[in-house]
Amino acid sequence: MTQRSVEAVIDIRNFCFHIGGKQILREVTFSVLRGEYLAIVGPNGAGKSTLLKCIDRILPGGSGQIEIGARPLESYRQKELARLVSYVPQADGRLFPFTVEQFVLMGRYPYLSPFSSVRREDRDVVRRMMELTGTVEFADRQLNTLSGGERQKVLIAAALTQEAEVLLLDEPTTFLDYRHQAEIHALLCRVHQESGVTIVAVTHDVNHAAAVADRILALRAGSVVFCGEPGELMRPAVLQGIYGTPLVLVDHPLTGLPMIVPGMVAGAERRDGDHGDGNWVRA
């Protein structure tokens, strides 16, 4: 894990957010330290994605306080904010009519003027980030010709070209097969370790979050119900309080860190005659 500063790059205090009269986030308070890898977990509908969009001002408004770099979020002009915070959204199936290189170059918008041509240094950054993400070979291909894993690497490359201090990711491995999940996870760990960028990633993969994150924040029904180190999270009582169901944990054979056993709940037993079809009942 990367050495991190004790300085908070994101500071959120008593933040609340409503959509259509429904409260999505409730009195959310936490900080993200510079250089930290923070994972955000929690059940569906907990407000995880909404929280990321509020930090990047995709969803403006709300009450309470969000500070980026010790300044109120609302004090930033959009290009200023984009030089500090970049965002990789959830895969939603939308495809854009651009080549990979054209799309990644758009990530340089905080540094470009509508009245000037693209500079050599901008193209150098694009090339460097495409090399880092393994997308150079796709440079001239249309985005709609790529696989889901390839497109996700392109989205990350575009975000990295902003050269922002903070990288926000909303479920970066959703819908990807195991190979591409592993490649994306390895890429993010390399970016974090080599560049020291602060990463805040929403994920449903609690096991992976526990393996790579410095700290984990858990939301339930819009409220913070846990914020601490992975070892403190991976306890049956803590996880049951977050997800509302008992879970089985076993020690990882290499790291010794407790891991959730997929498809099992505490107190479950296999039905007679069950030979591995995943059917479990409560004892």
DSSP assignment of the chain: -----SSEEEEEEEEEEEETTEEEEEEEEEEEETT-EEEEE-STTSSHHHHHHHHTTSS---EEEEEETTEEGGGS-HHHHHTTEEEEPPP-S---SSBHHHHHHGGGGGG--TTSPPPHHHHHHHHHHHHHHT-GGGTTSBGGGS-HHHHHHHHHHHHHTT--SEEEEESTTTT--HHHHHHHHHHHHHHHHHH--EEEEE-S-HHHHHHH-SEEEEEETTEEEEEE-HHHH-SHHHHHHHHSS---EEE-TTT--EEEPTT--TTEEEPTT--SS--EEE-
Domain parsing of the chain, residue ranges: 8-244, 245-283
More confident residue, 265 or 50: 50
Q: What architecture does CATH give domain 8-244?
A: 3-Layer(aba) Sandwich (3.40)
Render pLDDT for 52-94 as a digit per residue (tens, 0 to 9): 999 999 999 999 999 999 999 999 999 999 999 999 998 776 7
Q: Is the pLDDT at 209 greater than 60, yes or no?
A: yes
